[in-house]
C-alpha cells in the first residue's frame, strides 16, 4: 500500500530534479504583495473563498454523530425497540446534543427495508439552539431534504431520488452555545442518520442559525454547487501556461512555476486509451524539508474509472468526456510547484499536453500543501481496511474510492463503516453507518449512479456467474462486483494537528473478502518549528498522581479499576484506574510550560452512563501559582452511553492570549488549573474521570533559521 510521502531533499538533489524538468516555454509569475485569501469568518465557510479550502484552520474540529450501533452490533439504525436516542424529552427523542460554539454542516439520512423509501411524512425534526425553548427549525423530516422549504433546496439539499437512496443537506446550522436536535413520532421508524459538525474553540464567535439571514449567507455556496464541473475560479483565477510532449516508455515531461503563488487548475490532455499508462506527480516547495510529492495514476487523480466512458463533473473536477481532464483544487506553494507526467507503458508513444494555471501572490500562512495519495488494501482478519494514514497536521478534503468483491450477490461489501481517528486518540471522532452513506447514497445506491458537486456514485457492477455455473466454481473468471464513488469535504473536512488514521470495515462483520482503493486529497502543514505534543497527563486513579496534580473534590468519590474496550471493531482493550464521583466540582493542575496559545484537553472516561455533562474552567497560572488572566469556561457536551465499549475520549480545544509568545517570560503560564463542575443529565448518575491530558503546540527550536521553510526574513 502507498502512504503519504513527505520528502526531505538535499539542495543539490532537488535542484537537479527541478532543472531536468523545467519547461522552456512556461509562464513564470513572481509573487506580489497581493494576498490570496479573502476573509472567511467561519471555518466551514470555504465557499466564500475557495483558497481557504487549503487552510488548516484549527478554530474547530470536525466530528460525526451517527446512528451506528455502539458496542459492535450489526445494525446501524434507529428502529422500534432499538432506538438511537441520546435522551428522551417528553414526546421527542434527542438525536444530537452538542455545546457551542459550533455548526452542523452536513446531515444525511435514509429509511427503508431492503430498498430505500421516502422519509416519513409524520416524523418532525426540531433544532433547539442556545437553550431556547422554541425550536429555530421545526419541519416535517421529509421537508429537510425534498426542496419544499428554503434554504433546504437543491443543490443544498437532495432527496433519495437525486442522491440514489440517500437524503442529505449541506446547509450549515451554526450555534453559539448549544444545539439539540430532536425527532417526534419516530419511535417506530427505521432511520439511519449522520450529523457532521464542527466543535468550535472557545474564541470562535458564531451567529446562530435563523431563516431570515440564512439564504443571503448561502448565495455563494448555492452558486458553487449548482454547476458541478464548471471552473469554480471566477475571481482572479490566474494565468495558464502549457507544455506539450510525446512520451516514450519511461519518459516524462514537466511544467513548473515559481512562487509564491497558488495553482488553481491542473489540466492534462492525453488519449483516453492511454490513461492507464500514465502517472502524474504533483510536487510543491522543493529545496525545503516540507516538500510534498505525490505520484498517482492519472485515472485516480481525475477520478475516472476505466469502466466509465464519461464521468460527470464535480466541485473540483471537470467532466471527463474526451481526452482532457482538469483538477480545480487550490494548490498553494511558497517556493515552486512542479507537475510531472510519466509514461509507464511498455511500448509505443503517447502525446500529452500539460497546462497549469498559477495565481501569483502571497500565500496564506495557514495554507497547507496539497498531497494526493492512493492507498490500496485487501481484507485481513482482525483489522480494518486502510483508507488514509498521515503523520502530520492534515486536512482531508476529498476521496475517490473503488471497492470490489467477488462471490457476492448485490453489494454487501458496502455495509462497512468508516472509522476516523484523529491525533492519536483511541476513540473514533467519526464512526459511520455504511460505505454508501459516506458518499451520501443509501441501500447500495439503489437508484443507480448519481452526481452532485460534493459526492456521487460513478459506476457499479454486480458479480454474476455464468448460467448453470455453481457459485463456488470458476468464479475467478468472473469480474468482481465493484462500486466507484467520490466525495469532497470542503466544509466538513477531518482536520488534525498531528495525524489522521482512517479505516474502513470490510463489510458488515469486517470479514468480507474485498479490495479497497482510495485516492485521497489532503493538505499537509509546512514545518514551522512548532510541534503538537502532550504537555502533561493526569492519571486520576494514582494516589501519587493526585497529589502531584493537587487534585481536590467537593463531594464524594471512589476509585475504580476498569478493563474495557474502546469503540471500534475489534475494539482496543485497556485497563485503567480512575475516579467515579457524584455531582460537584473537582480541580487539578496540569503543567503547561512551553505551550503556545492553543491547547487541548483530552478526557478519558467510562461511557457506561450517558449524559455526563459538565462545565470546565481553565485558569492560567504563572510562578507561585499567580493567576495570569481571567478564567475560561467551556461546556462539556452530552455524552452517549455505551455499555459494551466503555472507554471513550473527548477532545476540547481552548485558546488564550495569555500564552502568547510575545509576553515576557515571567508573565507566561507555567500551568493551568482545571475545574470540572459535573452536571450529569440525571442527578443520580455518576461522572467519571480516568485521565486528563493536556496537549499543545510547543516550539521545537527547529527551522528558526528559515532555510528549511524558505523564510529568510530573519537573515542578516
Q: What is the mean pLDDT of residues 208-220?
A: 89
Q: pLDDT (tens digit, 9 = 90+) per residue, 322-362?
A: 999 999 999 999 999 999 999 999 999 999 999 999 999 99
Q: What is the mean pLDDT of residues 29-41?
A: 42
Report residue 440's pLDDT band, with 50, 70 and 90 as the boundaries. Answer: very high
pLDDT at 663: 60
Q: pLDDT (tens digit, 9 = 90+) per residue, 666-676?
A: 667 889 999 99
Query: From the CB of residue 438, how many other CB atoms can be counted at a distance below 10 Å?
Result: 25
Phi then psi for residue 226, to 5 deg, are -75, -25
Report residue 104's pLDDT band, with 50, 70 and 90 as the boundaries. Answer: very high
Average pLDDT value for the chain: 87
User: Grid coordinates standing for 24?
Assistant: 522552456
CA distance 394 to 57: 10
* pLDDT of residue 30 exceeding 60: no
pLDDT at 528: 65
User: Grid coordinates standing for 323?
Assistant: 481526452
Q: pLDDT (tens digit, 9 = 90+) per residue, 105-131?
A: 999 999 999 899 999 999 999 999 998
Most confidently modeled range among 194-198, 522-526, 612-616: 194-198
Alpha helices in 151-295 (DSSP H): 211-217, 219-226
* pLDDT of residue 24 exceeding 70: no
Report residue 704's pLDDT band, with 50, 70 and 90 as the boundaries. Answer: very low
- The pairing of beta strand 557-565 with beta strand 552-553: unpaired
pLDDT at 509: 85
Report residue 26's pLDDT band, with 50, 70 and 90 as the boundaries. Answer: very low
CA distance 252 to 5: 20
Assign 3-class secondary structure to 593-638: CCEEEEEEEEEEEECCCCCCCEEEEEEEECHHHCECCCCEEEEECC
Question: Taking Cα atoms as reference points, which of 143, 110, 108 lies closest to residue 125?
Answer: 143
CA distance 9 to 638: 48
What is the torsion angle, in degrees rounded to the nearest 10, for the CA atoms of residue 40, residue 43, residue 46 and residue 51? 70
Q: What is the mean pLDDT of residues 458-475?
A: 62
* pLDDT of residue 33 exceeding 80: no
Question: Taking Cα atoms as reference points, which of 484, 409, 493 lies closest to residue 450?
Answer: 484
Can the peptide bond before residue 570 be classed as cis, meaning omega within 30 degrees of 0?
Answer: yes
CB contact at 8 A, 406 and 131:
no
Q: pLDDT (tens digit, 9 = 90+) per residue, 391-414?
A: 999 999 999 999 999 877 789 999
pLDDT at 594: 87
Q: pLDDT (tens digit, 9 = 90+) per residue, 612-633?
A: 989 999 999 988 888 887 889 9
Lowest mean pLDDT among 242-246, 319-323, 433-437: 319-323
DSSP string, 482-528: EEEEEEE-SSS--EESS-EEEEE-SSTTS---EEEEEEEEEEEPPP-
Q: What is the mean pLDDT of residues 118-145?
A: 96
Collect all residues with Cβ–Cβ distance below 8 Å to 526 and sequence separation of at least 6.
285, 288, 290, 334, 368, 369, 709
Helix (H, G, I), strand (E, B) or coil at 57: coil
* pLDDT of residue 226 exceeding 80: yes
More confident residue, 83 or 375: 375
* pLDDT of residue 185 exceeding 80: yes
pLDDT at 510: 86
pLDDT at 623: 85
Report residue 714's pLDDT band, with 50, 70 and 90 as the boundaries. Answer: very low
CA distance 180 to 434: 24
User: Grid coordinates standing for 190?
Assistant: 427505521
Query: From the CB of residue 632, how many other CB atoms can be counted at a distance below 10 Å?
Result: 18
Residue 32 DSSP one-character state:
-
More confident residue, 172 or 22: 172
* pLDDT of residue 498 exceeding 70: yes
CB contact at 8 A, 323 and 275:
no
More confident residue, 38 or 284: 284
* pLDDT of residue 416 exceeding 80: yes
Helix (H, G, I), strand (E, B) or coil at 48: helix
Amino acid at each position: 500500500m502507498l502512504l503519504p510521502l513527505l520528502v526531505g531533499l538535499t539542495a543539490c538533489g532537488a535542484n537537479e530534479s527541478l532543472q531536468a524538468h523545467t519547461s522552456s516555454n512556461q509562464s513564470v509569475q513572481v509573487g506580489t504583495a497581493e494576498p490570496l485569501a479573502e476573509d472567511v469568518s467561519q471555518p466551514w465557510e470555504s465557499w466564500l473563498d475557495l483558497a481557504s479550502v487549503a487552510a488548516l484552520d484549527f478554530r474547530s474540529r470536525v466530528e460525526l454523530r451517527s446512528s451506528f450501533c455502539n458496542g459492535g452490533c450489526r445494525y446501524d439504525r434507529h428502529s422500534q425497540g432499538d432506538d438511537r436516542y441520546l435522551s428522551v424529552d417528553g414526546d421527542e427523542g434527542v438525536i444530537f446534543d452538542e455545546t457551542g460554539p459550533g455548526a452542523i454542516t452536513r446531515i444525511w439520512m435514509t429509511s427503508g427495508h431492503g430498498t430505500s423509501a421516502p422519509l416519513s411524512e409524520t416524523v418532525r425534526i426540531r433544532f433547539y439552539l442556545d437553550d431556547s425553548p422554541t425550536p429555530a427549525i421545526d419541519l416535517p423530516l421529509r421537508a429537510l431534504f425534498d426542496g419544499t422549504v428554503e434554504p433546504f433546496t437543491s443543490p443544498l439539499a437532495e432527496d433519495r431520488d437525486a442522491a440514489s437512496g440517500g437524503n442529505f443537506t449541506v446547509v450549515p446550522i451554526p450555534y453559539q452555545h448549544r444545539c439539540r436536535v430532536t425527532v417526534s413520532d419516530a419511535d417506530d421508524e427505521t432511520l439511519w442518520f449522520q450529523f457532521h459538525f464542527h466543535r468550535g474553540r472557545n474564541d470562535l464567535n458564531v451567529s446562530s442559525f435563523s431563516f431570515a439571514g440564512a439564504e443571503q449567507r448561502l448565495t455563494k455556496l448555492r452558486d458553487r454547487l449548482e454547476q458541478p464541473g464548471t471552473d469554480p475560479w471566477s475571481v482572479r483565477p490566474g494565468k495558464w501556461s502549457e507544455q506539450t510532449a510525446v512520451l516514450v516508455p519511461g519518459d516524462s515531461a514537466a511544467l513548473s512555476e515559481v512562487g509564491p503563488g497558488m495553482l488553481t487548475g491542473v489540466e492534462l490532455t492525453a488519449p483516453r486509451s492511454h490513461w492507464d499508462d500514465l502517472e502524474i506527480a504533483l510536487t510543491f516547495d522543493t529545496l525545503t524539508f516540507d516538500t510534498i510529492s505525490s505520484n498517482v495514476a492519472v485515472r485516480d487523480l481525475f477520478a475516472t474509472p476505466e469502466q466509465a466512458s464519461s464521468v460527470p463533473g464535480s466541485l473540483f473536477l471537470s467532466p471527463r468526456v474526451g481526452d482532457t481532464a482538469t483538477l480545480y483544487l487550490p494548490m498553494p506553494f511558497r517556493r515552486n510547484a512542479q507537475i510531472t507526467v510519466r509514461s509507464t507503458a511498455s511500448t509505443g508513444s503517447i502525446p500529452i499536453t500539460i497546462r497549469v494555471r498559477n495565481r501569483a501572490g502571497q500565500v496564506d500562512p495557514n495554507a497547507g500543501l496539497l498531497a494526493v495519495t492512493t492507498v490500496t488494501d485487501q481484507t485481513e482478519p482482525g483489522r480494518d481496511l486502510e483508507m488514509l494514514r498521515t503523520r502530520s497536521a492534515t486536512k482531508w478534503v476529498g476521496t475517490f474510492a473503488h471497492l470490489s468483491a467477488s462471490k457476492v450477490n448485490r453489494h454487501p461489501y458496502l455495509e462497512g463503516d468508516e472509522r476516523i481517528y484523529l491525533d492519536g486518540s483511541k476513540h473514533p471522532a467519526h464512526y459511520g453507518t455504511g460505505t454508501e452513506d459516506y458518499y451520501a447514497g443509501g441501500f447500495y445506491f439503489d437508484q443507480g449512479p448519481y452526481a452532485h458537486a460534493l459526492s456521487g456514485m460513478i459506476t457499479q457492477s454486480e458479480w454474476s456467474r455464468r448460467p448453470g455455473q455453481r457459485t463456488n466454481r470458476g468464479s475467478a473468471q468472473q469480474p468482481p462486483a465493484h462500486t466507484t464513488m467520490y466525495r469532497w469535504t470542503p466544509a466538513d473536512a477531518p482536520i488534525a494537528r498531528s495525524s489522521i488514521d482512517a479505516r474502513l470495515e470490510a463489510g458488515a462483520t469486517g470479514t468480507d473478502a474485498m479490495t479497497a482503493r482510495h485516492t485521497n486529497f489532503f493538505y499537509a502543514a509546512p514545518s514551522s518549528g512548532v510541534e503538537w505534543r502532550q504537555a502533561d497527563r493526569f492519571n486520576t486513579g494514582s494516589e501519587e498522581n493526585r497529589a502531584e496534580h493537587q487534585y481536590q473534590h467537593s463531594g464524594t468519590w471512589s476509585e475504580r479499576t476498569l478493563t474495557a474496550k474502546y469503540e471500534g471493531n475489534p475494539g482496543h482493550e485497556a485497563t485503567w484506574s480512575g475516579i467515579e464521583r457524584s455531582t460537584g466540582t473537582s480541580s487539578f493542575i496540569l503543567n503547561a510550560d512551553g505551550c503556545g496559545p492553543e491547547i487541548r484537553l483530552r478526557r478519558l472516561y467510562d461511557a457506561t452512563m450517558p449524559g455526563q455533562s459538565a462545565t470546565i474552567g481553565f485558569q492560567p497560572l504563572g510562578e507561585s501559582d499567580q493567576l495570569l488572566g481571567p478564567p475560561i469556561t467551556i461546556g462539556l457536551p452530552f455524552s452517549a452511553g455505551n455499555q459494551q465499549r466503555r472507554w471513550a475520549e473527548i477532545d476540547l480545544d481552548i485558546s488564550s492570549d495569555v500564552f502568547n509568545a510575545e509576553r515576557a517570560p515571567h508573565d507566561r503560564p507555567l500551568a493551568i488549573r482545571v475545574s470540572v463542575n459535573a452536571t450529569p443529565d440525571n442527578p443520580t448518575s455518576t461522572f467519571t474521570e480516568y485521565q486528563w491530558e493536556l496537549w499543545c503546540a510547543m516550539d521545537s527550536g527547529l527551522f528558526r533559521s528559515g532555510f528549511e521553510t524558505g523564510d529568510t526574513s530573519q537573515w542578516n
